[in-house]
Structure 1
Amino acid sequence: MTENRRLPDYFIKDLKDGIYHPIIQRVRLDKDLDMEFRGTYLNIYYQGHSILNLNKNGSIAIDKKFLRGVEEKVPSSFKTSEDVNAYLESLPNIKDNVTYCPNEAGIRSSKSRELEFEQLLIRANNLESRNNSEYIILDRQYVVNQGVDRWDLVALRWPIEKRGRPYQEGFLSIIEVKYAQNPDIQNIKTQVERYASYLETHLPEICEDMKSILVQKLDLGLLAKTEGQMKRLRELPIKPDIAETEVIIYLIDYNQNSDLKKRAEKAGKPAFQGKVHVALGGLALWQSNLSKFGDTT
């Protein structure tokens, strides 16, 4: 059985127009923040790191290293509007502690960069309306197989070519992010096959839960979509069709001069009834990635 990630209705109400509404307002205004649902609690992320764990009973948890300098100002639970405001007033300091943590030398490790790029992918696909992306990220760090695996991103694929049709469908996509020369790239076949095994067994309930999360995020204004798009998304089924379900290996700043990807390809296509794709992205530049302007070859 999978764990439902949707929040209880009363929790959503407190976020929408109750005591936690100022938190939602802040997340809407700050595209560097990301809110994800965990069933009985929610997380707010900055640069991929959790800067708030808010339980449905109002208790909160924040890593001590991110509270440096504001330990006495942030309450241990949100029982009043003043408690919520105290957290929001301390938020700039908390964010600064994420960016600069002198006593945690490893915080800017490659794994940390992967987490940061995961959040950038969420921003680019969920919060930048001009992109009109075909993907909406619905969850991150999705735990499966009793904690053995953790999917980086779970997304709705909403194909553009089908959006004008009277009946539209969405499909599930799992996105695995690998930053730079992550040696795990060469073992991707085994990793994808574990994901595939879980998807082939639990796809209907995962799609149902992701549909609930989609509606809740629309209700809270956490997706930058037009009124027309939001209406269509509310009616859009996420179809549990394993043949249309995909796993995307997203290689960020991957140096194509490396042999890691070649080793992975030698292992062959993962055994999966769905689709497996590789995407290349990031900001680092290599000559091999360039083409002449106007060159169509």
Structure 2
Amino acid sequence: MGRVISDKFIKDLQEEGRLHELTKKVQNDDTLMLALRGHYINVYYRGGSILNLSEQDNGYAARFDTNYSKEKSLDLPHSTIKTAEDCSNWVAALSGLKEIMNSYFATKRKSEREFQQLVAWENNRSIISNETEYFITDIEFADRDQGAKLDMVGLKWLSGHRRDETRCTPVLIEMKYGIGAYDGDAGIAKHITDLEGILANPVKRESINKTIEDQFDQLLKLQLVDFNKHARYNRALVSGRPEVIFLLANHNPRSKRLLNILEEIKEPADFDLRFFNASFAGYGMHNARMLGLNDFKELLRQLAS
């Protein structure tokens, strides 16, 4: 699927590499997220790409999405990063680019994408990340070959299994922000149907597993996932029956729209369908807070009564 980056790219992002200052910035700035995209990386801010770096023969092409600044003239650093100093110039520019994006998002909100990044941060890098049982390896995941387009992918690794690196299972997450996102062409029923077509294919399923596994390994090398590894940790291995989670942000409990949609849904044959019922407030994900279809429908009935 080509979502991991080359060894050369990884080395340049690691200590003493010419891109290391950017990695250090992401490690120390909780508003930023680095995502692996094969021959390029995206650095996200509030769910939008603040910096795109593409690997080239002579260095890295650097790009800021000028759609965020159509009415402003920009004085950006050089578009090719060849040295550590070039990288430093882009890191220095990030604070100004954040302000440009803040102005854009003030009138054109992208709430679902912002919350995707928040979920990834809480489970990967926050003060409680070692306690959660899910790790996010990618957001805005898309792969034409597999027909896969997902809000988030990652792995589930139960706290009681952390000494066994073979006990990691693949997780595919769809986030819906507000009740208006539940139906239609990008609604819950359509996502389930699409995923049934993908995950029924063993080759596609294995390809997704390998991508998640490799991404997790590279994010660990960049110190962008935080959990207590045992002394002989080598590499997490992703396998087994996938889990598809719907993460429904800011649901209106007085609405019956969600229950009406789910009443028509049948249990999928090739994956475990789950709905995240938050542990009080926050997005730290635990296996105990994942409800199956029938349990979730019963909860909705109780809320609506």
TM-score, normalized by length of structure 1?
0.83
Residues in 1 aligned to 2:254 and 2:230: alpha-carbon distance in whole angstroms: 44
Residues in 2 aligned to 1:167 and 1:6: alpha-carbon distance in whole angstroms: 20
Give the aligned length: 272
In the alignment, residue 36 of structure 2 is paired with which amino acid?
Answer: F
- Segments of 5+ residues of structure 1 without an aligned counterpart are 290-297
Of the three residues 91, 95, 99, the one matched with 1:92 is 95
Residue 75 (structure 2) pairs with residue 77 (structure 1): no
Q: Residue 196 of structure 2 corresponds to which residue in structure 1?
A: 196
Residues in 2 aligned to 1:190 and 1:125: alpha-carbon distance in whole angstroms: 27
Deviation, structure 1 residue 167: 6.5
In the alignment, residue 255 of structure 1 is paired with which amino acid?
Answer: N
Q: Is the 8 A contact 1:36 1:44 kept in 2?
A: yes
Residues in 2 aligned to 1:247 and 1:185: alpha-carbon distance in whole angstroms: 17
Partner of 2:104, secondary structure, is coil
After TM superposition, list the pairs within 5 Å mapping 1:144-155 onto structure 2.
144-145=143-144, 149-155=148-154
Q: Deviations over 1:132-154 (max 9, x none)?
A: 11000011111135596520000
Deviation, structure 1 residue 79: 1.8
In the alignment, residue 192 of structure 2 is paired with which amino acid?
Answer: V
Residues in 2 aligned to 1:30 and 1:66: alpha-carbon distance in whole angstroms: 21
Q: Which structure dedicates a bigger proportion of its chain to helix?
A: 1
In the alignment, residue 81 of structure 2 is paired with which amino acid?
Answer: F
Q: Residue 48 of structure 1 corresponds to which residue in structure 2?
A: 47
Deviation, structure 1 residue 86: 1.4
Residues in 1 aligned to 2:144 and 2:253: alpha-carbon distance in whole angstroms: 32
TM-score, normalized by length of structure 2?
0.81
Residue 113 (structure 2) pairs with residue 115 (structure 1): yes
Taking structure 1 as reference, are residues 270 and 74 closer, same or farther at Cα in structure 2, changes over 3 Å only?
farther
Partner of 2:230, secondary structure, is helix
Q: Is the 8 A contact 1:28 1:221 kept in 2?
A: yes
Q: Which moves more between the two structures, 202-211 or 266-275? A: 266-275
Residues in 2 aligned to 1:6 and 1:183: alpha-carbon distance in whole angstroms: 30
Deviation, structure 1 residue 228: 2.6
Residues in 2 aligned to 1:48 and 1:25: alpha-carbon distance in whole angstroms: 19
Q: Is the 8 A contact 1:192 1:270 kept in 2?
A: no
Residues in 2 aligned to 1:270 and 1:116: alpha-carbon distance in whole angstroms: 30
Residues in 2 aligned to 1:206 and 1:169: alpha-carbon distance in whole angstroms: 16
Residues in 1 aligned to 2:229 and 2:165: alpha-carbon distance in whole angstroms: 18
Q: Is the 8 A contact 1:66 1:98 kept in 2?
A: yes
Deviation, structure 1 residue 99: 1.4
Q: Residue 250 of structure 2 corresponds to which residue in structure 1?
A: 253
Of the three residues 190, 193, 207, the one matched with 1:205 is 207
Deviation, structure 1 residue 280: 4.0
After TM superposition, list the pairs within 5 Å mapping 1:212-291 onto structure 2.
212-228=214-230, 232=233, 234-239=234-239, 241=240, 244-281=241-278
After TM superposition, list the pairs within 5 Å mapping 1:165-176 onto structure 2.
168-176=166-174
Q: Is the 8 A contact 2:245 2:274 kept in 1?
A: yes
Q: Percent identity?
A: 25
Q: Is the 8 A contact 1:129 1:225 kept in 2?
A: no
Q: Residue 21 of structure 1 corresponds to which residue in structure 2?
A: 20
Taking structure 1 as reference, are residues 205 and 183 closer, same or farther at Cα in structure 2, changes over 3 Å only?
closer
Q: Is the 8 A contact 1:177 1:249 kept in 2?
A: yes
Q: Residue 181 of structure 2 corresponds to which residue in structure 1?
A: 183
Taking structure 1 as reference, are residues 184 and 10 closer, same or farther at Cα in structure 2, changes over 3 Å only?
same
Q: Is the 8 A contact 1:136 1:156 kept in 2?
A: yes
- Segments of 5+ residues of structure 2 without an aligned counterpart are 283-298, 301-305
Taking structure 1 as reference, are residues 270 and 61 closer, same or farther at Cα in structure 2, changes over 3 Å only?
farther
Taking structure 1 as reference, are residues 167 and 251 closer, same or farther at Cα in structure 2, changes over 3 Å only?
closer
